[in-house]
């Protein structure tokens, strides 16, 4: 690796990646477990997120209270999250406490799953699922995934279903943890005021006894549905969403920066959707979202507004899609979104915490890490031509998959 990065793989397969950031006084560490709801068996739906909670609930060495108090003693800014394809635990501390932070996170990733805490947390997650029912955005994007991916694991909500969480056995979680949190399916990432050799030593002491047992089952490619018309009537809400979905590239594709630039100029800040749809009073929000996973992707265009305006929202979305399909994008709007992305990347690269998240994203997406300069270079390479190439390979001028979600039974 470059002088900026240092990498080491423990004998058990656990990968450690460090980035030295000169002139900072703090350091961040994150454990990336390459597992999420996509890797769950039908009876396990929701176990990845449930396990994330349980990692804070006690180990052979610490109680739940001990874990939380220890974070405070380290002065840590910490959290964890679960997605469809990975789970991340991180902490950001003064430079001198990094070894202790790594030890704490590593201990958490070997939870004892205390039975009483297991039952308490089961009820917490069932409450989260119930609250999820009251979130229109979660309902909408769950509907998009369920429709596009069907019975494939990507179609399932990360939280799981009431039935699977209510019936999930502690032994099932233990088996999932053994399979998916194996040493060779986990990476430790550190950035900031770090000494790589010291981090490697911390990792060896904290994780060296972990077993190598990843199941190695490749993620199945879903047969995504990208045509037809589907609707979900939700009478309890006051807003309606109209969504058009088209096939797109998976994460890690060479055109990923071009797609991100396109979604920003089409539906981001000061975008076409903002000026041509929202500011004309057709709806309250409109935009585009690239939904990308390993070996599959979707591009979704959406408009949210009053249920009575569904026809107008759909017509406005199709008009903007047609315009960009026929005439392409302008150099000025491409440059504007590149300028915004430059600033965002620069700010992220100055903080060990956000830099660690960039490195986690790189490992998950590209299986390697990139310097901040390399990320900027990828943004600089985006042009009118690269976006046109993407739109030629993944056209959006067809009918697509039309989804409607909200109180109105439409179309």
Residue that terminates a domain, selected from 149, 172, 207: 207
Q: What is the pLDDT of residue 223?
A: 74
Q: What is the pLDDT of residue 215?
A: 60
In a domain, 305, yes or no: yes
The per-residue DSSP string of 272-337 comes to: HHIIIIITTTS-SEEEEEEEEETTEEEEEEEEEE-GGGHHHHHHHHHHHHHHHHHH---HHHHHHH
Residue that terminates a domain, selected from 207, 242, 275: 207
Q: What is the pLDDT of residue 1?
A: 54
Q: In the chain, how many domains are there?
A: 2
* pTM, rounded to two decimals: 0.95
Domain shared by 41 and 181, yes or no:
yes
Rounded CA-CA distance 176/51 in Å is 9
Residue 140: phi and psi, rounded to 5, are: -65, -55
In a domain, 391, yes or no: yes
Domain shared by 91 and 149, yes or no:
yes
In a domain, 254, yes or no: yes
Question: Which residues have a Cβ under 8 Å from the Cβ of 300 and sit 6 or more positions away?
Answer: 144, 243, 244, 245, 246, 288, 289, 291
Domain shared by 133 and 264, yes or no:
no
Domain shared by 155 and 267, yes or no:
no
Rounded CA-CA distance 187/14 in Å is 6
Helix or strand (DSSP H, E) at 168: none
Domain shared by 201 and 281, yes or no:
no
In a domain, 222, yes or no: no
With H, G, I as helix, E, B as strand and everything else as coil, classify residue 355: helix
Give 10-residue mean pLDDT values along the chain (411 residues).
Answer: 84 97 96 96 96 98 98 98 98 97 98 98 97 95 96 94 97 97 97 98 98 72 84 97 97 96 96 97 98 96 98 98 97 96 92 96 94 94 98 96 98 96
Q: What CATH number is given to the structural domain containing 139?
A: 3.30.830.10
Q: What is the pLDDT of residue 352?
A: 97
- What residue numbers bound the domain in which 189 lies? 5-207
In a domain, 217, yes or no: no
Q: What is the pLDDT of residue 221?
A: 76
In a domain, 296, yes or no: yes
Domain shared by 145 and 242, yes or no:
no
Domain shared by 248 and 279, yes or no:
yes
Q: What is the pLDDT of residue 224?
A: 72
Domain shared by 235 and 153, yes or no:
no
Domain shared by 54 and 111, yes or no:
yes
Domain shared by 65 and 151, yes or no:
yes
Domain shared by 296 and 365, yes or no:
yes
> Contact 224/247 with Cβ under 8 angstroms?
yes
Residue that terminates a domain, selected from 173, 207, 241: 207
């Amino acid at each position: 690796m470059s002088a900026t990065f240092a990498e080491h793989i423990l004998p058990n397969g656990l990968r450690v990646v460090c980035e030295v950031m000169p002139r900072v006084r703090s350091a961040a560490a994150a454990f990336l477990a390459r597992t999420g709801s996509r890797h769950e068996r039908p009876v396990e739906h929701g176990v990845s997120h449930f396990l994330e909670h349980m990692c804070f609930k006690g180990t052979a060495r610490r109680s739940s209270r001990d874990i939380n108090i220890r974070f405070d003693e380290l002065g840590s800014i910490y959290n964890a999250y679960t997605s469809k394809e990975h789970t991340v635990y991180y902490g950001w501390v003064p430079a001198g406490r990094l070894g202790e932070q790594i030890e704490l996170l590593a201990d958490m990733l070997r939870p004892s799953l205390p039975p009483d805490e297991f039952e308490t947390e089961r009820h917490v997650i069932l409450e989260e699922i119930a609250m999820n029912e009251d979130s229109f955005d979660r309902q909408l994007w769950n509907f998009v995934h369920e429709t596009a991916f069907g019975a494939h694991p990507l179609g399932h909500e990360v939280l799981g279903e009431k039935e699977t969480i209510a019936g999930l056995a502690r032994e099932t979680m233990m088996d999932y943890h053994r399979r998916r949190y194996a040493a060779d399916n986990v990476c430790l990432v550190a950035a900031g005021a770090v000494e790589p050799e010291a981090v490697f030593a911390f990792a060896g002491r904290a994780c060296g006894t972990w077993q190598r047992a990843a199941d190695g089952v490749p993620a199945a490619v879903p047969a995504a549905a990208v045509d037809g018309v589907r609707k979900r009537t939700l009478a309890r809400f006051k807003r309606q969403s109209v969504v058009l979905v088209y096939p797109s590239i998976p994460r890690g594709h060479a055109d990923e920066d071009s797609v991100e630039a396109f979604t920003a100029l089409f539906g981001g800040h000061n975008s076409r959707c903002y000026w041509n749809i929202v500011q004309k009073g057709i709806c309250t929000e409109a935009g585009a979202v690239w939904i990308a996973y390993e070996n599959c992707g979707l591009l979704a265009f959406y408009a949210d507004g009053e249920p009575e305006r569904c026809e107008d929202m759909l017509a406005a979305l199709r008009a903007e899609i047609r315009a960009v399909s026929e005439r392409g994008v302008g150099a000025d709007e491409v440059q504007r979104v590149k300028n915004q992305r430059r600033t965002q990347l620069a700010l992220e690269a100055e903080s060990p915490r956000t830099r660690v998240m960039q490195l986690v994203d790189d490992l998950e997406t590209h299986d390697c890490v990139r310097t901040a300069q390399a990320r900027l270079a990828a943004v600089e390479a985006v042009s009118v031509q690269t976006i046109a190439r993407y739109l030629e390979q993944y056209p959006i001028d067809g009918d697509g998959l039309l989804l409607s979600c909200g109180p109105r039974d439409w179309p």
